[in-house]
Structure 1
Amino acid sequence: MIILIAAAAKNNALGKDNQLLWHLPDDFKRFKALTSGHYIIMGRKTFESFPKPLPNRVHVIITRQSDYKAENCIVVGSMEEALKVCPENEDVYVIGGGEIYDLALPFADKIELTRVDVSLEADAFFPEFSEDDWKLETSEFHAKDEKHVYNFVFETFIRK
């Protein structure tokens, strides 16, 4: 199953200047729990935003730079190539950024979206998707608290 996983503001904002717009520890925990042990597909800039590769995951990096190298990672030039290097009968997570989500959306079976209750300025956005094509399967509200500046909702969408 191809799964897009993201945290996006009400205006679909994901990040600015290759940085996330918020710090939501519960969202990080959910991301880690869902993606651990799986292949994760990302763009080069998303990969470079990490201090080091994420543990217990196989990193597949999409880049236009034909000579790009990343230790212990698979580097490819397209979404189609990225999907080909991933195991067929396993969950594969697409983790960003905005351009990569756009490329992956037509292939996706599921979207794990953390919808953050704010609209912020950004330069990377999650793609629009139609409720005609997607069914909201689960929705779990989390109120802001001392560790979370914004309210947010964990939403799971399944392609119809």
Structure 2
Amino acid sequence: MIAYVWAQASNGTIGRDGTLPWHLPDDLQFFKQKTLGQLTLMGRTTYDGLRKRPLPNRTNVVLTRRLDYTAPGAVVVHSKAEALALAAAHPEQDLMIVGGAQVFTLFADVVDTLYVTRLAGEVSGDVVMPPLDWDAFERVSARLVPNDDPALAHTFETWQRRN
């Protein structure tokens, strides 16, 4: 399986200054649940936003064009083909793509599952989720989570690619 895991505000924001522009503990738990034990692919900027510390108990995979880039505790790949070959070599693990926007765009034609947390409100940021062909997917689950701050109410959604 190749899946995206991300959270976005109603205006499409997914990041600000290299990090998430909100703090939702249950979303972090959802992310952890989906990615533990899996190949967790992210772009260099997303990895740098983690303060260059790999996420524990996952195979962290960093995609970058920089040939001299090193990421201690992570596997570095330099192309989509290299990332897909790594996933094929580890069929016991799913490939969970966690951002950023350029990486989501790159894998849009091969992703088959979407795990999205949709925030009710708009949030300012400098990175937005690239457009997806939502007609190619079917929503298979949704769970609304209220919040004291209505803008931070959110829905966990799972989408599967239509056959």
TM-score by length of 1: 0.93
The yes-or-no answer on 1:121 pairing with 2:124 is yes
Q: Is the 8 A contact 1:4 1:105 kept in 2?
A: no
The yes-or-no answer on 1:37 pairing with 2:37 is yes
The yes-or-no answer on 1:63 pairing with 2:64 is yes
Unaligned stretches of 5+ in structure 2?
none
Q: Match for residue 13 of structure 1?
A: 13
Give the superposition deviation at 1:25: 0.2
TM-score by length of 2: 0.91
Query: Which is further off, 108-117 or 124-133?
Result: 124-133
Query: Which is further off, 23-32 or 82-91?
Result: 82-91
Structure-2 separation of matches of 1:35 and 1:11: 25
Q: Is the 8 A contact 2:119 2:151 kept in 1?
A: no
Q: Match for residue 154 of structure 2?
A: 152
Structure-1 separation of matches of 2:81 and 2:92: 16
Give the superposition deviation at 1:23: 0.3
Give the superposition deviation at 1:31: 0.7
> Which structure carries more strand by proportion?
1
Query: What percentage of aligned pairs have identical amino acids?
Result: 34
Structure-2 separation of matches of 1:104 and 1:130: 12
Unaligned stretches of 5+ in structure 1?
none
Q: Match for residue 97 of structure 1?
A: 100
How large is the RMSD of aligned CA atoms in angstroms? 1.6
Structure-1 separation of matches of 2:25 and 2:73: 27
Give the superposition deviation at 1:91: 1.5
Q: What is the count of residue pairs matched by the alignment?
A: 159
Q: Match for residue 85 of structure 2?
A: 84
